[in-house]
Amino acid sequence: MASDRPNVSFRQQLRTYHRTSLGLQCANWRPEAASTLFDKLDRDHDGTLDRRELGGRLSAAEFAAADPDEDGTLSKDEYLKAVENRFKVADPDNDGTLDEKELRSRSGQALLRLLQ
Ligand SMILES: [Ca+2]
Ligand SMILES: [Ca+2]
């Protein structure tokens, strides 16, 4: 379904939002964008992401932390929670916005890796 494909990636959106200084509100900032990415990554459309579908986005330890019910897959809720957690780690001043320095930090890069 070609219409399901977003025109710009979530990563590009992050950059655009940064460039236009609108800021990123993780708690209420377009969680549907991460939701769209989830649907794209879920190639077999079973509503969960397994490690194969996630590719190298999460290490084994990170995957375990993101999968509290230990069923070996990430539901959409678990995935969105993992994105949100990474955002929070990447936002040490807790202002809900990732500035350029924060995006370039190790945790900022980890967030972008999860979102590409
Ligand atoms: Ca799946
Ligand atoms: Ca799970």
pLDDT(86) > 80: yes
Gyration radius (Cα) of the chain, Å: 14
Rounded to whole angstroms, the maximal C-alpha distance in the chain is 40
pLDDT in tens, 35-77: 888 999 999 999 999 999 999 889 899 999 999 999 999 999 9
Is 0.95 surpassed by the pTM of this model? no
What pLDDT, on a 0 to 100 scale, did the predictor assign at position 88?
86
Domains annotated on the chain, with CATH: 18-115 (1.10.238.10)
**Helices of type H across 27-75:** 31-41, 51-54, 60-66
Distance between Cα 52 and ligand 1 center (Å): 9
pLDDT in tens, 11-27: 655 555 444 333 343 33
Q: Which ligand is nearest to the CA of 53?
A: 1
pLDDT(9) > 70: no
Distance between Cα 50 and ligand 2 center (Å): 9
What pLDDT, on a 0 to 100 scale, did the predictor assign at position 22?
34
What pLDDT, on a 0 to 100 scale, did the predictor assign at position 18?
44
Distance between Cα 36 and ligand 1 center (Å): 14
pLDDT category at 79 given cuts 50, 70, 90 is very high
Which protein residues have a CB closer than 5 Å to ligand 2 (ion)?
67, 69, 71, 78
